[in-house]
Structure 1
Amino acid sequence: MGLGNKFLREPLLHFLLIGAALFAVYYITRDKSYSDKSKDIIVISSSDINRLAYFFEKTWRRPPNDKELRGIVDDYLEEEVLYREALRLGLD
């Protein structure tokens, strides 16, 4: 038996080849539209809003009114959009 035949009979080689084949099948058949869209969704939770209101109150020593809170949330959203765009452009 030559070295090539011995190498082809190794279970590790079979394991690696099967793993590579499974990865290739997954990569080709995965739903790319789902993963791309999930990156574009920005979720602002109630805890985020509470945190923003808390920092406003610490700065101005009063709670924000509805208009101010909407403005704070809009500013936070704009900042998050710009941050993600900068990451996409490689400006980090």
Structure 2
Amino acid sequence: MTETIIRKRINKASLKDGPPLVRFARRISSKDLSAMDIFLTAFGAFSWGMCKVAQGIKTRRALEEENYAAACYILPILQSGEDARFFTEW
């Protein structure tokens, strides 16, 4: 085999004496994801996540407004109770 590499000619006698030739090829599957598929998947996941974040922000703001409104409505009642306690002690 070394003779064929050095002299760049095939000697059929030396090929028969050596190990059998194994033919192999790299077979690239066409089922793999392309770069565009990966990019679009990542972009879709990012967009979905940002929509969920926006929904969470809206929900949190609504709850904060509800808590603020409840505090504003209950404040006069709490203040009257505190005033009654203050006058009884005074």
TM-score relative to the length of structure 1? 0.29
Larger radius of gyration: 2
Task: Considering Cα pairs closer than 8 Å and 6+ residues apart, tell me whether 1 or 2 has the greater RCO.
Answer: 1
